[in-house]
Chains A and B, each alone.
Chain A
């Protein structure tokens, strides 16, 4: 098992290398000479030439890529063109809010979507099932910002139950931290909950047809034990998979959600960086997200072995 995880980590290296190559090429794929872009509209040709040399843009592409990778491996993601701060420090500042938002959303999704899907499968064809699945379609078709503004309007402005926007770090207390994340997590989680609930229902429906479920009934087990132990554990592989894939959804959704709720996280940083064409920051963020995604995939594969003993690597 441990050797498998090690092998997998080694196997992620080529993947990350390709991602890095792509991220690095961003500078060149983007229209215009990067030096011109970086120098801005007011720069003189001398300025552009100076920037080109200081960035090493006059050297061959592969040499530039090599030295870039070398610096990244040493933890140096470069310096922001706009703020002149190290990219790693900028990302570090913004990591907390985004990570908090994602974790709260992930937990909310699992706690809400899985039981909903299980109940829908158990009561398949009934009114409850149709209501849950109707909600799922609804949740799936609403954009994050619509849900976000609706929630903020109802629960923050009208009812005044929760803050409208902002973020408080966990270090100033659990409730102040959570309070600010509830509405964003619901807004961000809507699509995710819908997706996971649907997959859970489909996976459960198939499992509930199996012979071993009949055996469990014949043994005198109650409905809860049958659904949540005998059936859910068998349905877990597709559910875990879609929860993992959904993390990609979360990364995209976080950018929008953080704008709606004014959360100073990576999403906001991404938008700002794109608007300012702050390439080193964009590269750093994309690299980080890709790395997180690769890591999540590895975690999913490890979780498979925990839920299904037939899966061994």
Chain B
């Protein structure tokens, strides 16, 4: 059974120049213990989707519609109090910027303790002991000393480990990681990813990984959802998606990944780029959202929006010419 089922999620923002449809009718699900990656370029609605799941979008100017069923409950129908009991407890989040995501004036220990005291009703001493355990678990040396330290005394990688410790302190069922490694050094990235995978196995949490790094996706995701201009354009198991991407946008994304050492082996080719920009989401879009940048677009694409269609086993894509597109790649 699905742990999380999102139906027709729409997150719109009222702006002075019109309504920004940051997320416009996205549906997906995450099974228990599964890792789903959401990929797309900047401004495609990945982060807004994740913030919507936690109801962290300020309303107004934002407005979230549709349904988000988590463990049988529609999160959009909960009271603020009920929602607070879920945040940090059943669903928790890791953010992109470890340098700024921790409170600079509170000790690391206090920031881990807090979730335990709110959600698990632990007293201070018990929470402190658990905080030390969590720091050990995320591989921070000398955890007893570190709990008393402030974020500025830790490196970026360590801070992200602390964020993971906070996120996993209450054994959440779902962990949303929004670009968790983007701001880190490459060597640290690998450590953090490995840590997330280890802990996921231990805790049994499902993960929604938001990223534009396809290398990370290949590494840890089981299923991938590709977003473009606030919509889902393709979804498939990770191996299937990398083997036969159907949507021209996905193909573009895969083509835009540089291959290390290709110039040495003589297989170098020009990096493919996707020309143009994400369309203005404040204006209504007729036809396919990607038509403006798609080399294969025809009048059909510009007039009628393609629906999500089955293109293979557990593989859907929203493109009139998806099959043909696959051949063209």
Q: Known contacts being A217-B56, A219-B115, is A212 close to B102, with CB within 8 Å?
A: yes
Complex Cα distance, B102 from A217, in Å, reads 12
- Neighbouring A residues of B152 by C-beta, 8 Å: 309-310
A41 CB within 8 Å of chain B = no
Say whether B150 contacts A220, CB under 8 Å: no
A218 CB within 8 Å of chain B = yes
The B155-179 residues at the A interface (CB cut-off 8 A) are 163, 166
Shortest Cβ distance from B151 into A: residue: A212
Complex Cα distance, B105 from A220, in Å, reads 19
Say whether A218 contacts B54, CB under 8 Å: yes
Say whether A218 contacts B118, CB under 8 Å: no
B136 CB within 8 Å of chain A = no
The A164-209 residues at the B interface (CB cut-off 8 A) are none
B279 CB to closest chain A CB, in angstroms?
27
A-contact bits for B104-117, CB 8 A (1 contact / 0 none): 11110000001100
Say whether B92 contacts A210, CB under 8 Å: no
- Neighbouring B residues of A217 by C-beta, 8 Å: 54, 56, 87
A148 CB to closest chain B CB, in angstroms?
39
Which among B7-15, B93-101, B241-249, B294-302 touches the partner chain? B93-101
B89 CB within 8 Å of chain A = yes
Q: Known contacts being A211-B97, A309-B150, A309-B152, is A220 close to B102, with CB within 8 Å?
A: no
Say whether B88 contacts A233, CB under 8 Å: no
Interface magnitude class on chain A: 20 to 34
B145 CB to closest chain A CB, in angstroms?
15
Complex Cα distance, B93 from A233, in Å, reads 23
Say whether A219 contacts B86, CB under 8 Å: no
Say whether A211 contacts B100, CB under 8 Å: yes
B188 CB to closest chain A CB, in angstroms?
19
- Neighbouring B residues of A222 by C-beta, 8 Å: 84
Say whether A234 contacts B89, CB under 8 Å: no
B103 CB within 8 Å of chain A = yes
**How many contacts A-B (CB < 8 Å)?**
75
A221 CB within 8 Å of chain B = yes
Say whether A220 contacts B103, CB under 8 Å: no
A277 CB within 8 Å of chain B = no
Most A-side CB within 10 Å, residue of B86, B101, B103: B103
Complex Cα distance, B119 from A220, in Å, reads 8
B85 CB within 8 Å of chain A = yes
- Neighbouring A residues of B118 by C-beta, 8 Å: 219-221
Say whether A219 contacts B106, CB under 8 Å: no
The B56-110 residues at the A interface (CB cut-off 8 A) are 56, 84-89, 92-93, 95, 97, 100-107
A307 CB within 8 Å of chain B = yes
- Neighbouring B residues of A236 by C-beta, 8 Å: 105
A271 CB to closest chain B CB, in angstroms?
44
- Neighbouring B residues of A221 by C-beta, 8 Å: 84, 88, 114, 118
Say whether B84 contacts A210, CB under 8 Å: no
Q: Known contacts being A221-B118, A310-B150, is A216 close to B105, with CB within 8 Å?
A: no
Say whether B56 contacts A210, CB under 8 Å: no
A280 CB to closest chain B CB, in angstroms?
47
CB < 8 Å neighbour of A218 from B87, B104, B106, B107: B87
Q: Could you name 14 residue pairs across A and B whose Cβ atoms are closer than 8 Å?
A: A211-B100, A212-B104, A214-B95, A218-B56, A218-B92, A219-B92, A219-B118, A220-B88, A220-B115, A220-B119, A221-B118, A236-B105, A309-B150, A310-B150
Cβ-closest 10 pairs across A and B: A220-B88, A219-B88, A220-B87, A211-B100, A212-B103, A218-B93, A309-B150, A211-B101, A220-B84, A233-B105
Having A212-B100, A234-B104, one finds 4 other A-B pairs with CB under 8 Å, namely A214-B56, A219-B88, A308-B105, A310-B152
